[in-house]
Structure 1
Amino acid sequence: MFYTTEANDHGLPHNPFKAIVSPRPIGWISTLDGEGRPNLAPYSFFNAVSDAPPTVMFASSGYKDTVSNVDATGEFVCNFASHDLSAEMNASSAPLAHGESEFERAGLITAPSLLVKASRVAKAYAALECKHLFTRRLNDLDGKDTNSWVVFGQVVGVHIAEEAIVDGRFDVTRVRALSRLGYMDYAVVDEVFQLARPGA
């Protein structure tokens, strides 16, 4: 089959785009608003885009509290989403009123960050403290503004739980990394394999 995204005439009961672009890591982003109130929200459009310097991005459909908070404070934390925290991660996606704490809603304890003011999820196996680089509003092919916003941040500090390190490596199978698929589907990393890069 083939369909154009302009007509979106795939004929399927649900749009397959996000199922095709998967699995995607989950950016579980914690921030503070201008008044110092915490916010926590998961973003399925999230990834690392550079390792020198270490840089991450997340994208939001709509100028939501997380984007506004990052723009206002210049900081955020990416908390590692694992299978054992999937219920809490999902609970933090609830559309709460501005200023209400998703940490409290999800029953999560916070832990202090060291280089940014935003707290992190205490039970997360890893957390990336980030300083804001820039935010971009996306435009379509006609140059029109969309309601999608992309936030870039440089990682300035990394927290790793000791139990997540096995033989000197961050073991995603031990911590069972959670990823987002299409529809309401998620996946967990239980098994990995290695491929050696071919020589020149």
Structure 2
Amino acid sequence: MELDPDSVDSMYRTLSTAVVPRPIAWVSSTDGETDNLAPYSFFNVVGIDPPVVMFAPASMKDTPRNAVETEEFVVNVVTPDLAESMNASSATLPSDASEFDHAGVERAPSVVVDAPRVGASPISFECVLYDTVEVGTSTMVLGEVVYAHVDDELLTDGKLDVEKFDALGRLAGSQYTYTRDRFGLERPD
């Protein structure tokens, strides 16, 4: 098969199927009246000094618009026990309806930003807007992490332990995966 990059639907399907698993940013935001919550699988870490994460929505719906307008948001990590709630929060709702309420997700207060975080998420990153980058029809939203919440039970000697943490990853379509099946490789000198 050969694909023409101008075939947006075919290219999206091929990219989102080949680039897997993708971590999921469950982004919470607020406009001051309504708290929004939505999952984004075009998400990653882009820098460490300063610590910056990004998510890239295909359109400027409520959550990314709030992140840009208020210059604050929270990235909550999705674990298998949160999968159903995360999926429910992806429903298309009116702007004045909260996905937290629709999906039955408990809010927890943030420390630095006004946007609430997902109370049940074992890892949450409070972010302030670092920048936005227009990439075709998408907008990459970059956030500087200004505070992190990590459940103590995921730590070993004060550090996040990948063996104690199982994140959910996005594959293609309605397919997801776990991070339970692991192996190690020593980096050569």
Pairwise same-fold verdict (TM > 0.5): yes
What's the % identity of the aligned pairs? 43
Structure number with higher helix proportion:
2
Query: CA contact under 8 A between 1:172 and 1:189: conserved in structure 2?
Result: no
Query: CA contact under 8 A between 1:92 and 1:102: conserved in structure 2?
Result: yes
* 2:144 corresponds to 1:154: yes
Query: CA contact under 8 A between 1:17 and 1:182: conserved in structure 2?
Result: no
Cα drift, residue 70 of structure 1:
1.0
Matched residues, number = 188
- Point out where structure 1 has 5 or more consecutive residues left out of the alignment: 140-145
Return the match for 1:179 from 166, 169, 173. Answer: 169
SS of alignment partner, residue 61 of structure 1: coil
C-alpha separation between the residues in 2 aligned to 1:89 and 1:8? 26
Q: Which has the larger radius of gyration?
A: 1
Query: CA contact under 8 A between 1:30 and 1:66: conserved in structure 2?
Result: yes
Return the match for 1:25 from 23, 26, 29. Answer: 23
Larger deviation: 158-167 or 47-56? 158-167
TM-score by length of 1: 0.87
1:63-117 CA-partner distances (Å, limit 9, x unpaired): 1111110111110000010001000000000011002111111111111000101
Superposed CA RMSD: 1.8
C-alpha separation between the residues in 1 aligned to 2:46 and 2:178? 22
Correspondence list, 1:35-184, <5 A: 35-139=32-136, 146=137, 148-184=138-174
C-alpha separation between the residues in 2 aligned to 1:8 and 1:58? 20
C-alpha separation between the residues in 2 aligned to 1:130 and 1:15? 30
SS of alignment partner, residue 64 of structure 2: helix
C-alpha separation between the residues in 1 aligned to 2:96 and 2:16? 30
State the partner residue of 2:14. Answer: 16
C-alpha separation between the residues in 1 aligned to 2:186 and 2:107? 40
Cα drift, residue 133 of structure 1:
1.1
SS of alignment partner, residue 60 of structure 1: coil
1:163-195 CA-partner distances (Å, limit 9, x unpaired): 222454423443421011112110011132222
Larger deviation: 66-75 or 188-197? 188-197
TM-score by length of 2: 0.92
Letter in 2 for 1:31: S
Letter in 1 for 2:71: G
Cα drift, residue 138 of structure 1:
1.7
Structure 1 runs of 4+ aligned residues shifted over 4 Å read: 7-10
